[in-house]
Amino acid sequence: MENDTLVEQVAENIQDTTAVNSMVEGVKKLATSPVSDWLPDLVKEYLVPFGIKLVAAIVVLILGRWVIKLIKKGLTKVLLRGNTDPSLNSFVMSLVSVLLTFFLILAIVGILGINTSSLVALLASAGLAIGMALSGTLQNFAGGVMIMLFKPFKVGDFIAAQGYEGRVNSIQIFSTHILTPDNKTVILPNGALSTGPVTNFNKETDRRLDWVFSISYGDDYDQAKAVLQRLCDADARILKEPAPIIELIKMSDNSIDITVRARVKPEDYWAVFFRMNELVYKTFPEEGLHFPFPQVDVHVKN
């Protein structure tokens, strides 16, 4: 048994030595031979095929981007003809753009000779790590889907969320863009919008306006109430149903405070609010009503 083992080891050593000698001879031959002897083979076997693949990949990239633009343009026309929700339009276009770009990259990788199945397997195996690293991004994507499903707001609505107020310009797969009244674009993550409080000022068909107007002590309250009622009736933008409410809300230290509550359409809110303030300021003095000023009565005793 020992002799057989010894024979096998000697045979393996001889084979290893033969392989090493063969490699050494090959390297010596390659080093001593002229470059012109082996360079054409290298060009034919490696550089030319890779160059062809690279050119094909560039052509596919250019054509792919052109095709993606055509698809997006055609899809936009289809959505517009179908009178779909503008919120859905921006979301679908953003999602389609991402998916088509991803498939184009896979096609280019396949043309270059990289095994796409191995690449997909690698991405799948790294999915957990990527998901943890991009948890916020995935949450925003899920939030975008929730917004499109339950529609707490849509494009064109005036909302208040995350400390900002503005009109919704677009709803994308990861974020929502709103335009503030002072013409600033604010980008809000969909994850926070789908889980946090959102005030939608356009959800209902009307909004309530609230004013508080003050008159001095000694002024005629009934006259002030009649003037305010007349001003409300004269503005066609103030809804008659439900009727405006005009009541004495508080007797302050220096004034009688009268509240006015009226309903208007959401788009008329600020215009009616400012106009009523202006009319009251001009009309009260004409009707003999006075705006109170803070005052203190001081009694001096000898």
Per-residue model confidence as pLDDT tens digits over 146-164 = 888 888 888 889 999 999 9
With a cut of 80, say whether residue 136 has pLDDT above it: no
Higher pLDDT, 239 or 62: 239
Higher pLDDT, 124 or 264: 264
Burial of 197: CB neighbours in 10 Å, binned 0-12, 13-18, 19+? exposed
- Please give the Cα distance from 108 to 103 (Å, whole number): 9
Q: What is the pLDDT of residue 100?
A: 81
Per-residue model confidence as pLDDT tens digits over 161-205 = 999 999 999 888 888 999 999 999 999 999 888 888 999 998 888
Q: What is the pLDDT of residue 35?
A: 47
Q: What is the pLDDT of residue 7?
A: 44
Q: SS3 for 193? A: helix
Q: SS3 for 139? A: helix
Integer angstrom CA distances of residue 75 from 24, 62, 85, 162: 63, 20, 14, 33
Domains of the chain: 41-125 (1.10.287), 138-200 (2.30.30.60), 207-286 (3.30.70.100)
With a cut of 50, say whether residue 107 has pLDDT above it: yes
